[in-house]
Amino acid sequence: MSLRKPGISTIVTHHAEESNELGAHISPIYQTSAFRFPDVETGAAIFQNQHPGYYYTRIENPNQRQVVNKVAALEAVDLSPEINIKTGIPVDGHLFASGMAAVSAAILGCLSSGDKMIAHQNLYGATYTFLNHLAVQNHIQIIWLPAGTASEWEQAFQEHPDAKLAYAETPTNPNLSLVDLKIVAEIAHQHNAWLVVDNTFASPYCQRPFNLGADIVLHSTTKYLCGHGTVIGGAVLSTHLDWVKDSLWNQLKLYGAAPSPFDAWLTNLGLKTFELRMLRHCENAMTLAAWLQNHPKIERVYYPGLPQHPGHEIARRQMFAFGGMLACEIKGGLPAGLSFMNHVHLFALVPTLGNVDSLVQHPASMSHVNVPREERLKAGISDGLVRLSVGIENVEDLLEDLSQALEKI
């Protein structure tokens, strides 16, 4: 048997795809709330996690398991030599009903009232709001880092050596700043803390944080993993299998944020073209970023693939490709940005990302509207910043669309 590991497209088309007893080639949707037990003894053993099997869709369902195994295999592509691609070990996790359910389950699965965590301030707006909410409701102290540089993490851990978690997104939503995951993992581990990484923006095509030392990786599967804008979902994965089995499973079981079998099935369908889509997202984004960078109406472009980007060297070290997301500031500030967003045609004005079609949104009034303005500005999210999710269309058409919208300002 070959020892070579399968590539990304082979994983997403074959791994965890099992034919059922009728021989269905494509996995069926197990649209059932519960599963029948063959006898009381087996039922009791399944219930107590002592026998493999499903019993209730809030706890686990074959469609959810299929997606988790596939995403775990993608995140574990480089984890040789122990990785067993067939079972997904040593990375395991659970699928959730949304990216925010994944964020909250990962954090609540690690912390108790009175604990401390250190977080980069540049985060998805709802994650930022959730952490502030936790601070008040659950008495969890959040130490915020404005820049997320290695020296800031080092200093924060020196001042708070009892912090239990380091939390980061990279590249960040919406202005694509970079966090050096290898260094942060090392600092966190020196203090017996875990590193949690939201890998939604990069996706496991561009970046695999376990390889850099992360303990927990989470996703909004709503985005690149599903890829077609049809589903809201999330996933949490970890190399700490006991934590997945106990704490994370409890989050799913007790808070009840399980995705529907149909949503899991759609996510699996989307995953099958993951590598092909990502290849094109990344190529198109690089072309648009370089073009925008030289456009006379553009003040600044944020894309980690550009050599001018302050995090470019980190991106080159830790990313395999630079992703499909970019942001820019247009000369003339907020009014110019609003005019641009109202004049694009192919870029739909939609507050999500990672779909096959191109999207545009305004962080200050949409995804980050609940972040107080002065905190937003501290994180580098200006009033006029425009965020682009570059789709897989033909790049000439995207360039033409951006060009005509910029001319109309």
Ligand X SMILES: Cc1ncc(COP(=O)(O)O)c(C=O)c1O
Residues forming contacts to ligand X in the complex (CB under 6 A) are 98-100, 103, 124, 126-127, 169, 173, 198, 200-201, 220, 222, 232, 234
Per the annotation, the verdict on 124 as an active-site residue is yes
DSSP at 241: H
Per the annotation, the verdict on 224 as an active-site residue is no
Residue among 54, 56, 58, 115 flagged as catalytic: 58
Q: Which is nearer to ligand X, 61 or 200 (CB)?
A: 200
Burial of 244 (0-12, 13-18, 19+ CB in 10 A): buried
| Cα 180 from Cα 182, distance rounded (Å) | 6
Secondary structure percentages of the chain, helix, strand, coil, to 5: 40, 15, 45
Q: Which is nearer to ligand X, 83 or 371 (CB)?
A: 371
| Cα 372 from Cα 354, distance rounded (Å) | 26
Q: Which is nearer to ligand X, 270 or 298 (CB)?
A: 270
Residue among 180, 198, 215, 401 flagged as catalytic: 198
| Cα 315 from Cα 302, distance rounded (Å) | 13
- Which residue is at the shortest CB distance from ligand X? 99
Tell me if residue 285 falls in helix, strand or coil: helix
Cβ(391)–Cβ(355) below 8 Å: yes
Per the annotation, the verdict on 205 as an active-site residue is no
Q: Which is nearer to ligand X, 129 or 293 (CB)?
A: 129
Q: Which is nearer to ligand X, 174 or 261 (CB)?
A: 174
What crossing angle do the helices spanning 125-137 and 99-108 adopt, rounded to 10°? 40
Contacts of 100 (CB under 8 A, 6+ apart): 126, 127, 130, 220, 234
Per the annotation, the verdict on 58 as an active-site residue is yes
What are the contacts of 257-260 at 24+ separation with CB within 8 A?
Answer: 257/96, 257/97, 257/98, 257/101, 257/104, 257/105, 258/57, 258/58, 258/59, 258/61, 258/64, 258/95, 258/96, 258/97, 259/64, 259/95, 259/96, 259/97, 259/231, 259/233, 260/57, 260/97
Q: Which is nearer to ligand X, 164 or 219 (CB)?
A: 219
Cβ(360)–Cβ(347) below 8 Å: yes
> Residue 89 pairs with which residues in a beta bridge?
84
Residue among 208, 223, 277, 376 flagged as catalytic: 223
Closest contact distance (angstroms) between CB of 289 and ligand X is: 19
- List the beta strands (DSSP E) in 152-242: 165-169, 194-198, 216-220, 234-238
Closest contact distance (angstroms) between CB of 131 and ligand X is: 12
Closest contact distance (angstroms) between CB of 126 and ligand X is: 6
Closest contact distance (angstroms) between CB of 318 and ligand X is: 17
Residue among 124, 128, 167, 205 flagged as catalytic: 124
Q: Using omega within 30 degrees of 0 as the cis cutoff, is the peptide bond preceding 90 cis?
A: yes
Closest contact distance (angstroms) between CB of 110 and ligand X is: 17
Contacts of 73 (CB under 8 A, 6+ apart): 11, 15, 16, 85, 88, 91
Closest contact distance (angstroms) between CB of 380 and ligand X is: 16
Q: Which is nearer to ligand X, 202 or 328 (CB)?
A: 202
Closest contact distance (angstroms) between CB of 127 and ligand X is: 6
Q: Which residues are catalytic?
A: 58, 124, 198, 223
